[in-house]
Chains A and B, each alone.
Chain A
Amino acid sequence: MLLQQDHYKKSYYETPFHSRTSELNILNEWQRWKDYTVATNYFRTDLEYIAVRNTTGVIDYTPMVKQKITGPDSAEFVNRFFTRDMNKIAIGRVGYVVWCDAEGQVLDDGTVFHIRENEYWLLCVERQLDNLSISAIGFDVEIEEITDDVACLGVQGPTSCSILKAMGFEGIELLKPFDIKHYDFQGHEIMISRTGFSGDLGYEVWMVNEIALNFWDELFEKGEIYGIKPFGLDALDLVRIEAGLLVPGEDFMVAEFAIRPGSTRSPFELGLSWLVDLSKPVFNGRQALLEEKERGSRHTFVKLNVNGNKPANGSYLYNQSGKKIGTVTSAMFSPSAKANIAFASLHEPWKKGKDKIIAEIYYQKDLEWNRVMEEATIVTKPFYDPERKRITPAELY
């Protein structure tokens, strides 16, 4: 479907929500995301962040790449494509997934929606049509990219369930985390999943483009008394770091875009061993991952709590003897965790449990660069993990 016939005049796509998001984007700050333009910030990053954490934030996720896998061999196909045991993702459930190239290096991460029998959707950052199609040789499946056909909103935050309930979605509070439910909205089927990037109670709503604006209007009308606010990609980056979620292209190099060998990461090297089921007889990258298991990994992914209050973006990490042992991939000062947090990738000669981790942090004051060396400690739990995220029925306000 050609969404916008005259897109070439502008060289970017507008999402079906654009007429609303552009009204709300009083800063006029936009960013390109897979050929679409979406808001970087609407009014103020920290206030948008606060809306997600305290009331409800809405993000336009439409540019998220969406692929539909259908056909009699779908279940077998996804089980061979992804590293985890996909049989455990029942119909009506969503699962977090990674997938690898033949060298066992991560191509991307994403979520798989098991929508009905023989139908899965894969949602992720990078386009996968090519990888999926190559993987489909010998399987009776059909792969289709539906990115432009499905509009999507993330509705995230403590009051999100109340808002959707107020819109008339019966039983929404009964959805368990990673559940999917279909509803009727103005004569069209929409899909709501209890998923999201905020690490809090939240939902994602999937709909055909035709009803996007009506849905948005009703969402914001019903949401007003629940403190609903739009949020942009900057605020999203803050909440996802607090939630402990990786972003391809930031926290790891997408294997197929890497030029230098050694710059990619395996799932083990990203702390995602729990997503790899080596007991499956076959999946893409298995042989290489088995070998890595034997040989040992080169990198270790860690979450860090850094001393001080200067975010450690891009910092080099050293051990106590001044040897470089890694780099920070994402960092922020977390208002919710009240901590200076970071993701990092460590390598030799770092020794777990023995070596210190010291971050070299640069920051500016009146254009003057300053440097501090701050010690960091490894955190194993998510930085932000409210009980509310898991409770079912979801809390209503």
Chain B
Amino acid sequence: MTKLKKKVVVIGAGHNALTCASYLAKSGFEVEVHESRSEVGGMACTREFTEGYKVPGVAHLLHMLNPGIQKWLGLNKNGLEFAANRLKTISLNPNGNALVIDGDHLEGDGITDQHRAEFKSFKKKTNSLARFFRSAYQGRPPRIRTDNKKDLLGLMQTGWNLRTMGNEDMTDMLRFIAINVFDLLEEYFNDDFIKGSLAIDAVLGNHLGPRTNNSVITYLHTLTGEIDGVQGAYAIPKGGMSSYTDALKNSAEKLGVRIVLDSHVERIIVDDNGKASGVKFAKGNEVGADVVVSGIDPKSTFLCLVGARHFEAGFVHKINNVRMRGNASKLHLALSGLPSFNGVDEKDIGQRIVISPTMQYLEQAFDYTKYQHCSDQLPMEITIPSIHDSSLAPEGHHVLSAIVNYTPYSLKEGWDEAKPVVLENVLNTLSQFAPGIKQQILHSELLTPKDLEAEFGITGGHWHHGELTFDQFLMLRPFPGMAQYSSPIESLYICGAGAHPGGGLMGVAGRNAAVELMMEES
């Protein structure tokens, strides 16, 4: 065939965009990726926040990797290694007793066989329900209200997967997705501390409390992932989080993808026939393309880069209503030594540590968020990656990376004023559990959702590029009527976390988008 290769311009070099680019290059497209920042990876990056101290810039744990993508793109061959894998979760208790969660096993003071049994059966159930989601994540979600054959088949497949889960699982699935994680955990456990320790996984990065509907969906979402075949495992990549995205970059470049850094896209050019025909850069130059793929969130893509006037009002209205209230911040600390946490064995400090003693604690913190305030008692997910990777901090020193939840994007008092106060509160909370830590701090940084938005160009600084709620999930993602990677603009696609199946470092949105694009554009 003498047909020229179609040229695809990809906007952003987040992990989804890189995955998408590689798949496209592999199937014969000419692919060019343009990234605003001077490095690839998007929110999966390594950040030197003060000289000599490096942290995972935003995302700090790998737990959703897709084995298919990992293999297909040869990520291991391209440099992905784990500094630590199958991390345990240590939940800190104000009374000084920590709980240790290791796979489906519980350990800790006061943990009885009854607790262990409850936890096993809970894990079994939720893992199996999460596998249903996982299977639904692997392809383009079927569109509803359509007579397109592909969509109908997809719908039937989803229905079939649900049906073949078995009666009990199917009933549970239908029941659980309608309730909240508070009620779910109440059903399984008596112990408040166990419930609190688990519930944080449902709320991290999402605008919801344990009692909010949808919180079972977000909980199961985190369980869809796996690391090296172990469902729900957590890993820290060697050499910082950027080694994961560097592996994606290496793979992409080997496949012939051209990656251009410091290249901020200002506009997607739409020609008179309503087709995407290239992009215009902040620097003023333009590049033509047969196809444009955006790895940034749908709201920025359609409303800022394309512009409302290129769409019918109904579409604009819906996209404008996509909820993107980011509320997770990132705390980075440079420490002069290894901190110690009450009740945590020194050998366990390198594990995943959470501060979420009760569901009440979470719900109360969320209450502040609802009214655009920030509680002084916030839940956290903490890692000290320098324990596993000495390249991150000078000898004997350490870096702490924590996700601080319930720090809403829109704060009544404004972030300029609130940031030092919130930082102080967070450090106080931390020192309740790690008493000497304040004296060890050499440098600190708090990246709020506002900061994340400014740095990564993602509306609201949102974890999932759009909330992962039932009405913005599966075939309804990013919003009903647009459950595709394509858009009303011909030859314009989205491939970021805002598309199905959502956020977290998995690359599935990027891959699914590539598959959809290949079918449409070949």
What is the interface of chain A, defined by CB distance below 8 A to chain B? Answer: 73, 76, 80-81, 101-102, 131, 134-135, 137-139, 281-287
Contacts and interface: CB of A to CB of B under 8 A. Distances in A.
B274 A281 contact: yes
A142 B345 CA distance: 64
A137 B317 contact: yes
Given A137-B317, A137-B320, A281-B273, A76 B309 contact: yes
Contact of B309 (A101, A138, A287): A138
Contact of A138 (B273, B303, B314, B488): B303
27 contacts: A73-B309, A81-B313, A101-B314, A102-B313, A102-B314, A102-B315, A131-B313, A134-B316, A137-B303, A137-B308, A137-B313, A137-B316, A137-B317, A138-B303, A138-B307, A138-B308, A138-B316, A281-B270, A281-B273, A282-B311, A282-B312, A283-B312, A284-B313, A284-B314, A285-B312, A286-B312, A287-B312
Contacts of B488: 287
B123 interface: no
Contacts of A287: 312, 488
B272 interface: yes
A76 B307 CA distance: 12
A181 to B, nearest CB: 32
A139 B309 contact: yes
Pairs of residues from A and B, 5 with the lowest C-beta to C-beta distance, nearest first: A138-B308, A102-B314, A135-B313, A281-B274, A134-B317
Contacts of A101: 314
Nearest to B275: A281
Interface string B398-424: 000000000000000000000000000
Contacts of B310: 281-282
Which of B307, B312, B316 has most chain A Cβ within 10 Å?
B312
Contacts of B270: 281
Contacts of A286: 312
A101 to B, nearest CB: 7
Contacts of A282: 274, 309-312
Interface of B: 270, 272-274, 303, 307-317, 320, 488
B309 A80 contact: yes
A283 B312 CA distance: 6
Contact of A281 (B272, B313, B315): B272
Contacts of A283: 312
Q: Is the interface of A mostly helix, strand, loop or mixed?
A: loop
Contacts of A131: 313
A283 B309 CA distance: 9
A76 B273 CA distance: 16
Contacts of A139: 308-309
A138 B302 CA distance: 11
A349 B330 CA distance: 66
Nearest to B311: A282
B77 to A, nearest CB: 45
A285 B313 CA distance: 9
A102 B315 CA distance: 8
Residue in A137, A138, A287 with the greatest tally of chain B CB atoms within 10 Å: A138
Contacts of A135: 313, 316
A143 to B, nearest CB: 12
Nearest to B481: A102
Contacts of A281: 270, 272-274, 310
A284 B310 CA distance: 10
Contact of B313 (A73, A76, A134): A134
Nearest to A103: B314
A283 B274 CA distance: 11
Nearest to B314: A102
Residue of B270, B303, B309, B317 most packed against chain A (CB within 10 A)? B309
Max chain B Cβ within 10 angstroms of own Cβ: one of A81, A131, A134, A283? A134
Contacts of B320: 137
Among B273, B309, B313, B315, residue most surrounded by chain A Cβ atoms (within 10 Å): B313
A80 B488 CA distance: 15
A282 B306 CA distance: 13
A87 to B, nearest CB: 14
Contacts of B307: 138
Contacts of B316: 134-135, 137-138
Nearest to A102: B314
Nearest to B273: A281
B145 to A, nearest CB: 11
Contact of A80 (B273, B274, B303, B313): B313
Contacts of B313: 80-81, 102, 131, 134-135, 137, 284
A131 B317 CA distance: 10
B273 to A, nearest CB: 7
B271 to A, nearest CB: 8
A194 B308 CA distance: 35
Most buried by A among B270, B307, B317: B317
Contacts of A134: 313-314, 316-317
A107 to B, nearest CB: 11
A281 B490 CA distance: 11
A76 B317 CA distance: 17
Contacts of A73: 309
B102 to A, nearest CB: 50
Contacts of A285: 312
A284 B308 CA distance: 12
Contacts of B272: 281
A81 B313 CA distance: 8
A284 B312 contact: yes
A134 B318 CA distance: 10
Contacts of A138: 303, 307-309, 316
A102 B274 CA distance: 17
Contacts of B311: 282
Contacts of B315: 102
Most buried by B among A283, A286, A287: A287
Contacts of B309: 73, 76, 80, 138-139, 282
A207 B317 CA distance: 35
B481 to A, nearest CB: 8
Considering residues B308, B314, B320, which has the most beta carbons from chain A within 10 angstroms of its beta carbon? B314
Nearest to B318: A102
Nearest to B306: A138
Nearest to B489: A282
A364 B107 CA distance: 89
Given A131-B313, A281-B270, A284-B312, 8 more contacts: A102-B315, A134-B313, A138-B307, A281-B273, A282-B309, A283-B312, A284-B313, A286-B312
A135 B309 CA distance: 9
A142 B422 CA distance: 39
Nearest to A100: B312
A137 B316 CA distance: 7
A134 B309 CA distance: 12
A131 B308 CA distance: 15
Nearest to A80: B309
A285 B314 CA distance: 9
Nearest to B272: A281
A291 to B, nearest CB: 11
B312 A102 contact: yes
A250 to B, nearest CB: 26
A102 B482 CA distance: 13
Nearest to A99: B313
A282 B489 CA distance: 10
A80 B315 CA distance: 13
A178 B335 CA distance: 77
Contacts of A102: 312-315
Contacts of B274: 281-282
A287 B316 CA distance: 14
Contacts of B317: 134, 137
Nearest to B319: A137
A205 to B, nearest CB: 32
A287 B315 CA distance: 11
